[in-house]
Amino acid sequence: MAVMRAGGFPFPREGADWWRSAVVYQIYPRSFADSDGDGIGDLAGVTSRVWHLAALGVDAVWLSPFYPSALADGGYDVDDHRDVDPRLGTLADFDELVGALHGAGLRIIADIVPNHTSDRHPWFREALASGRGARERERYIFRDGRGPGGAEPPNDWQSGFGGPAWEPVGDGQWYFHYFAKEQPDLNWDDPGVREDFRTTLRFWSDRGVDGFRIDVAHGLVKDLSEPFAPWSEVAEVTRADGTHPLWDREGVHEIYADWRRVFDEYDPPRFAVAEAAVHPTRRARYASAEGLGQAFNFQMQEAGFQPDEFRAVIDAGLADMRVSGSTTTWLLGCHDTLRVATRYGLPRDPDLNSHQVGQRWLLTNGAEPVADLALGERRARAAALVLLALPGATYVYQGDELGLHEVPDLPPESLQDPIATRSGGTAKGRDGCRVPLPWTPDGPSFGFGPGGAQPPQPAWFGRYAVSVEADDPDSTLSMYRRALSLRRSLTSEEEFAWVSDPDESVLHFVRPGGWHCVSNFGGAPVELPHGTVAVSSVRLEDGRLPREATAWVLVED
């Protein structure tokens, strides 16, 4: 047995280090549960379904933005960082939700969006009203346009959502927005911006929030000095040396060291996880104890269902843990990606990565290539058991515990994602993974709420309803519940060892206490180690593990 130590930390469910091994459930509030029938999920809806989270057995909930917003980017266009969107409720509803989650032993993580505000934020309105050269414009990134009257954008840089990254304001100046034009980027050289985010972190911490997910944590600090590099040089987003003008500059770590001091004002200190799309060698800095403390590791979300790819991603994640001293995060999907059950059902294409295959499938409304949805679901279950057996934290996107699929054929008029409009028809966007959850097999919006659902749910959603799967011992939900409950009792030290197997389609590792995780990625059914099979992603065949499946086996020393 090749032993590799990932770290010597004991399992901390309580105390300051609770997050190291937590299972965090991501809620996209507008599509989780709707209490008032307006078709938009809300905070009271989440409170009414805390039982689902408790029965599932997760440790914490990460709430995607619930702040006032025009929804130009699903709520990541924030009008006011310290309030609740009236369609989603009130601050009193938020307090009630915190109480309900804490009462059920669950923690709550709020999403902080510091790279940009919405164009309806009072600061941006003031910036526009105050005119050229005004102090109020310094909170954002305004530049003079080129050519007569400043009619041309300052440079040729593009928005990540498609189209130019500059928007004119009518007086010869333009503002920079890496995302939608409704999301002007903040200027983090401005001390007032820094002070205001400290206030926001304290505001939510004082209300009982246990931690924060930091949106676009690798953005914030930028170098927009002239001469500008051409977009052809800037488009490549990851660099290993911190020289990119937009991403992962050294200066971001000053901000997070400052935030760490705010987090440490609390007992226990507030936790934070960075969404940092950076070169893998630079991820650990975001996860350091002097910084945010943890960073998302998106590699599993990009890997194919292949044993060699899983092995490489696991090795890289464990290596990160050794460098940062933090735990890594494992995740199969989120509100920005094609649902995992669908992704694993799409055929591999030697010329395209899995994201590109998914985009093609979405653009054909799910017609091409042909998806094997049952296979995808089966693989997603096998992968979930792998992730849940690894040391570190696992993030589960709402609906993935049901094996829910992407909805590829939403009516065009229901699409809300700016990617759909800004990409000029070359991308469909992320709405297909944000369709409101099914809770019951029938009824208006399948139990999502007393009214309809936005975007609308397809007829096949009922099959994946929480109440249907709760009654089926072979469902994905039942598997998740069993695995999460076992994980609670099995997790101890953050140690991990590969167990070599001559069969290349088998991935096998062991955790302390004789907790073996064995996956068969293909081929004939395989023998399992002698012990008790605690959970398996599909039924065993004559005691053997069939293809595309994972089992946890408890082996006595």
The active-site residue out of 195, 258, 265, 349 is: 265
Per CB under 6 A, 286 contacts ligand GLC: no
Least Å from the CB of residue 418 to ligand GLC: 8
Q: Which is nearer to ligand GLC, 137 or 218 (CB)?
A: 218
Q: Which is nearer to ligand GLC, 218 or 260 (CB)?
A: 218
Per CB under 6 A, 9 contacts ligand GLC: no
Least Å from the CB of residue 399 to ligand GLC: 16
Task: Report CA torsion sign: 536, 537, 543, 545.
Answer: negative
| Nearest residue to ligand GLC on Cβ basis | 76
Per CB under 6 A, 387 contacts ligand GLC: no
Per CB under 6 A, 431 contacts ligand GLC: no
Centroid of chain to Cα 150: 39
Q: Compute the residue count for the chain.
A: 557
Which of the stretches 69-77, 232-240, 299-307, 407-415 binds ligand GLC when contact is defined by CB under 6 A? 69-77
Site string for ligand GLC, 327-346 (x = CB under 6 A): --------xx----------
- For residues 431 and 414, the answer to whether their CB atoms sit within 8 Å is yes
Backbone angles phi, psi at 477, to 5 degrees: -60, -45
Which of the stretches 73-81, 249-257, 280-288, 470-478 binds ligand GLC when contact is defined by CB under 6 A? 73-81
Q: Which is nearer to ligand GLC, 65 or 89 (CB)?
A: 65
Residues 113-126: b if buried by 16+ CB within 10 A, e if exposed = bbbbbbbbbebbee
- For residues 257 and 291, the answer to whether their CB atoms sit within 8 Å is yes
Pairing status of strand 23-27 against strand 393-397: parallel
Per CB under 6 A, 521 contacts ligand GLC: no
Which of residues 28, 67, 140, 179 is near ligand GLC by CB under 6 A? 179
Which of the stretches 70-78, 164-172, 402-410, 522-530 binds ligand GLC when contact is defined by CB under 6 A? 70-78
What one-character-per-residue DSSP string does 62-78 give? EEPP-SS---TTTT-S-
Which of residues 17, 59, 73, 79 is near ligand GLC by CB under 6 A? 73
Which of residues 43, 53, 60, 113 is near ligand GLC by CB under 6 A? 113
- Residue in this structure with the two tokens 């464990």, named with its chain if needed: 318
Per CB under 6 A, 67 contacts ligand GLC: no
Pairing status of strand 60-63 against strand 23-27: parallel
Active site residue 215: yes
C-alpha span between 250 and 248 (Å, rounded): 7
- Residue in this structure with the two tokens 């979405």, named with its chain if needed: 362
Element (H, E) at 53: helix 50-56
Per CB under 6 A, 76 contacts ligand GLC: yes
Per CB under 6 A, 215 contacts ligand GLC: yes
Least Å from the CB of residue 198 to ligand GLC: 20
- For residues 405 and 342, the answer to whether their CB atoms sit within 8 Å is yes
Centroid of chain to Cα 100: 23
Q: Which is nearer to ligand GLC, 30 or 335 (CB)?
A: 335
Element (H, E) at 163: none
Residue 212 burial by Cβ neighbours in a 10 Å radius (0-12, 13-18, 19+): buried
Q: Which is nearer to ligand GLC, 87 or 177 (CB)?
A: 177
Left (φ > 0), alpha (ψ -120 to 50) or beta: where does 308 sit?
alpha
Q: Which is nearer to ligand GLC, 109 or 551 (CB)?
A: 109
Q: Using CB under 6 A, count the residues that bind ligand GLC.
A: 10
Q: 3-class DSSP state for residue 207?
A: coil
DSSP 135: G
Least Å from the CB of residue 263 to ligand GLC: 21
C-alpha span between 194 and 389 (Å, rounded): 39
Per CB under 6 A, 163 contacts ligand GLC: no
Q: Which is nearer to ligand GLC, 454 or 519 (CB)?
A: 454
Q: Which is nearer to ligand GLC, 253 or 335 (CB)?
A: 335
C-alpha span between 107 and 99 (Å, rounded): 10
C-alpha span between 342 and 376 (Å, rounded): 5
Q: Which is nearer to ligand GLC, 190 or 336 (CB)?
A: 336
The active-site residue out of 34, 119, 185, 215 is: 215
Per CB under 6 A, 185 contacts ligand GLC: no
Which of the stretches 72-80, 147-155, 162-170, 449-457 binds ligand GLC when contact is defined by CB under 6 A? 72-80
Per CB under 6 A, 465 contacts ligand GLC: no
- For residues 185 and 178, the answer to whether their CB atoms sit within 8 Å is yes
The secondary structure of the chain in percent helix, strand, coil, rounded to multiples of 5, reads 35, 15, 50
- Whether the ω angle into residue 227 lies within 30 degrees of 0, i.e. cis, is yes
Active site residue 265: yes
Per CB under 6 A, 216 contacts ligand GLC: yes
Residue numbers at the binding site for ligand GLC (CB under 6 A): 73-74, 76, 113, 179, 215-216, 275, 335-336
Q: Which residues are catalytic?
A: 215, 265
